[in-house]
Structure 1
Amino acid sequence: MDVEQLCRDHGAREVTIARDLTEMGERDIATRFDAAIVDLMLGGVSTLDFAAGLRNAGLPFVFASGYSDAEEIKASFPGIRLVAKPYSGEDLVEAVASACGRVSAG
């Protein structure tokens, strides 16, 4: 599934794809994005610290991953949705809309 195109099809003007955490940096994270879709692993590295930074910055996000220890995510990130792969585009769009406090247009 082309997540970038899916986001654009649902109104995203800019989409940033990162293949590893070094592409993201840590400064001013809250001013760089309106929302995020976070895979639990990028380049073999856990993204949980990055996700904690998003949460601390108040940035809406969801996890979308094939690596799914749902209980660990629920315990560490209560209220943050995990969309497990394989997922449909509709599931992902609805999860991001919900994280942003919006109702999905689907």
Structure 2
Amino acid sequence: MPLDVPTPLSGLRILVLEDEALIALDVEQLCRDNGAGEVAIASNLREAQQASQPYDAAIIDVMLDGEPTFDFARSLEAAGVPFVFASGYDQLDEIFKGFPDVTLVSKPYAGDDLVEAVAQSIRKLARSAG
């Protein structure tokens, strides 16, 4: 891809909250391939909460070792950080009730679907803020 063509995640700082290492590495590479400037991986909530860098967007697995990530997602929402959920779970009524405007990308997902969902969450937040 030519350097002067913007990509969906051009220059963005992305947090990937994912406890399966291979998936996390794939998502990191996917973000970098789509222009992300920085990608941080957190495999548990403690690591995610310790991340000091402000992020432009996040990709959050719904469950990490059986622990739901909804409280962390609410903290991102309160901070104005756009995010998407990525999950292999199919019983996710709580997401739809608690996060009606957040996109859920079901695993296994196509890379383009995930990147577009992240880009769309950023655009949606920008429109609502402006």
TM-score range (shorter-chain normalised) is 0.7 to 0.9
Q: Which amino acid aligns with 2:37?
A: R
Q: Which residue of 2 is the match for residue 4 of structure 1?
A: 28
Q: Which residue of 2 aligns with 1:13?
A: 37
TM-score (norm 1): 0.85
1:1-106 → structure 2 map (5 Å cutoff): 2-25=26-49, 32-101=54-123
Q: Secondary structure at the match of 2:40?
A: coil
CA offsets, 1:28-63, max 9 Å, x none? 6xx621100000011321100000101111110000
Conserved 8 A contact 1:37-1:96: yes
Distance 1:15 1:27, change over 3 A: closer
Tell which structure's C-alpha radius of gyration is larger.
2
RMSD of the TM alignment (CA)? Answer: 1.8
Deviation at 1:70? 3.8
Give the % identical residues. 56
1:27 offset after TM fit, Å? 8.0
Contact 1:40 1:65 in 2 (8 A): yes
**Aligned-partner Cα distance in 2 for 1:93–1:25:** 23
- Return the letter of the residue paired with 2:89: Y
Q: What code does the residue aligned with 2:122 have? A: C
The runs of 4+ residues in structure 1 deviating greater than 4 Å are: none
For each residue in 1:45-96, what CA deviation from the matched residue of structure 2 results, as whole angstroms up to 9, or x when unmatched?
Answer: 1100000101111110000111233432111001100001111001101100
